[in-house]
């Protein structure tokens, strides 16, 4: 499943990897337009994920995963062949995100449905953290191919990545969920679960920051090279790949810390640390390249360190018969705020002078810091819900 997910993620940041260097110059896009086009992926995901993920409470998640993977790959190939500007690019990239809505959380559901009973947090964390490996390879492959054979070829090639998950689905045993009656899109039980809601809204703050920096990482490092210079081995390709790949150990270690010290405490500390690092990068946007490279690697550790713990916490807090609906709301909130993060940072960049302005990049990192600082507020809701649930259990316990 983890290998299949890496394949599904090969198209994931193909647009972001080529946005600043290829697509914006070719189509004459502003940063806000570029960010809005990139956010189309998250927007399409957000629209489709409630239906596709809650559907896994009724049919085998493997079938949703298989169809979503195929659709995502075909849409990515279509972008490389048919996209001709902002509107066509945004429309096709939104379809790719719609396909990925059937590939990520339904994949997690297919995995958890086949795991033995008990604490599955490590398996969930391994699956979610392999996301980072897939994104790293997406950055690497998309930029290398685009530099040699053009950005259209990059989209076509990365569009074949989901074949890996198609193979995984075909090798997976069929498993039907327990039959369920009632409305398909019934989120009332999820909204009643305040502990799960805390993790869901915390995940939204995490996604805002994560998608914002992934959208503009290559653009920021291109600015650094143009104004401060950097060694040839510190290219945008190398920087974006390293930034993404170190996310996997960061996510795993973050979850291990959460298991030892408590999820709420660990996630809150990570979010506060990430906001501090973002502010420091923004204030030092004109510092020497080696300083910014070091700060970005630290940021590459803090941004994803809460991811596995957030998703594992949500999964553990979910009521088993509503797990599909809980996963759907988790993804809807997360990718909805991902879309806002991509567009909001682009709009901030335009408002403060554009991609060639240090002031613009300072504002981008300030926006990222503001977004993640909303995360700890979400845990006030989740902590209250968890405490309330514990109080009810104690009150009802026999004496």
pLDDT digits (tens, 9 = 90+) for 227-237: 888 887 889 99
Domain contains 180: no
Q: CA dist 340 to 38, 40, 270, Å?
A: 10, 10, 22
Q: How far apart are CA 263 and CA 260, in angstroms?
A: 8
For 198-221, b where at least 16 C-beta lie within 10 A, e where not — what string?
bbbbbbbbbbbbbbbbbbbbbbbb
Within 8 A by CB and 6+ apart from 164, the residues are 3, 4, 6, 7, 8
Within 8 A by CB and 6+ apart from 254, the residues are 266, 267, 270, 304, 305, 306, 307, 308, 309
**How many Cα atoms sit within 13 Å of 98 on the Cβ side?**
13
Q: How far apart are CA 104 and CA 100, in angstroms?
A: 6
Asked which of 38-52, 103-117, 328-342 is least confident by mean pLDDT, the reply is 103-117
pTM: 0.83
- Nearest alpha carbon to residue 49 among 89, 91, 99, 108: 99
Domain contains 277: yes
pLDDT digits (tens, 9 = 90+) for 62-82: 999 999 999 999 999 999 999
135: pLDDT strictly greater than 80: yes
What average pLDDT does the segment 305-333 reach?
83
Within 8 A by CB and 6+ apart from 104, the residues are 5, 8, 45, 131, 331
Domain contains 293: yes
Domain contains 181: no
Handedness of CA 186, 108, 95, 143 (dihedral sign): positive
Which domain, by its residues, includes 338? Answer: 2-175+186-396
Q: To the nearest whole percent, how much of the chain has pLDDT over 70?
A: 91
pLDDT of res. 231 = 82
Within 8 A by CB and 6+ apart from 114, the residues are 172, 173, 175
Is the distance from CB of 366 to CB of 212 less than 8 angstroms?
Answer: no
Within 8 A by CB and 6+ apart from 28, the residues are none
pLDDT of res. 182 = 62
Look at the chain and report how many structural domains it folds into. Answer: 1
Decide which of 262 and 302 is more confident.
302
Q: How far apart are CA 35 and CA 215, in angstroms?
A: 7
Grouping H, G, I as helix, E, B as strand and the rest as coil, residue 310 is: helix
Q: To the nearest whole percent, how much of the chain has pLDDT over 90?
A: 60
Q: How far apart are CA 50 and CA 310, in angstroms?
A: 19
pLDDT of res. 224 = 94
394: pLDDT strictly greater than 60: no
CATH number at residue 100: 1.20.1250.20
Q: How far apart are CA 100 and CA 159, in angstroms?
A: 12
Domain contains 169: yes
Q: pLDDT-based confidence at 397, cuts 50/70/90?
A: very low
Q: pLDDT-based confidence at 118, cuts 50/70/90?
A: low
């Amino acid at each position: 499943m983890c290998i299949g997910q890496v394949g599904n993620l090969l198209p994931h940041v193909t647009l972001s990897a080529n946005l600043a260097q290829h697509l914006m110059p070719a189509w004459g896009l502003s940063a806000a337009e570029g960010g809005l086009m990139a956010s189309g992926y998250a927007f399409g995901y957000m629209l489709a994920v409630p239906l596709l993920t809650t559907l896994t409470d009724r049919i085998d998640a493997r079938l949703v995963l298989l169809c979503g993977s195929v659709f995502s790959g075909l849409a990515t190939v279509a972008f490389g062949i048919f996209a001709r500007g902002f509107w066509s690019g945004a429309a096709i990239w939104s379809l790719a995100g719609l396909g990925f809505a059937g590939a990520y959380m339904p994949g997690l559901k297919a995995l958890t449905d086949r795991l033995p009973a008990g604490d599955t947090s490590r398996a969930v964390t391994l699956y979610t953290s392999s996301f980072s490996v897939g994104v790293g390879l997406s950055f690497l492959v998309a930029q290398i191919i685009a530099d040699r054979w053009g950005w259209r070829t990059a989209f076509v090639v990365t569009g074949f990545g989901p074949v890996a998950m198609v193979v995984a689905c075909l090798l997976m045993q069929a498993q039907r969920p327990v039959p369920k009656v009632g409305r398909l899109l019934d989120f009332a039980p999820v909204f009643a679960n305040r502990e799960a809601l805390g993790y869901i809204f915390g995940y939204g703050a995490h996604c805002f920051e994560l998608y914002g920096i992934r959208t503009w990482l290559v653009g920021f490092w291109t600015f650094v090279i143009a104004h401060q210079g950097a060694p040839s081995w510190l290219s945008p390709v190398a920087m974006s790949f390293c930034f993404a790949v170190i996310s996997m150990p960061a996510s795993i270690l973050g979850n291990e810390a959460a298991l030892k010290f408590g999820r709420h405490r660990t996630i809150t500390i990570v979010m506060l640390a990430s906001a501090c690092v973002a502010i420091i990068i923004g204030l030092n946007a004109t510092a020497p390249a080696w300083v910014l490279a070091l700060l970005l690697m630290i940021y590459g550790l803090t941004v994803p360190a809460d991811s596995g713990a957030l998703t594992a916490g949500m999964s553990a807090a979910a009521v088993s018969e509503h797990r599909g609906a809980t996963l759907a709301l988790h993804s809807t909130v997360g990718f909805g705020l991902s879309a806002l993060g991509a567009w909001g940072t682009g709009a901030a960049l335009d408002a403060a002078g554009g991609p060639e302005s240090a002031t613009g990049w300072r504002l981008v990192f300030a926006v990222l810091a503001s977004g993640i600082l909303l995360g700890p507020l979400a845990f006030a809701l989740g902590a209250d819900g968890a405490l309330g649930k514990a109080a009810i259990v104690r009150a009802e316990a026999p004496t």
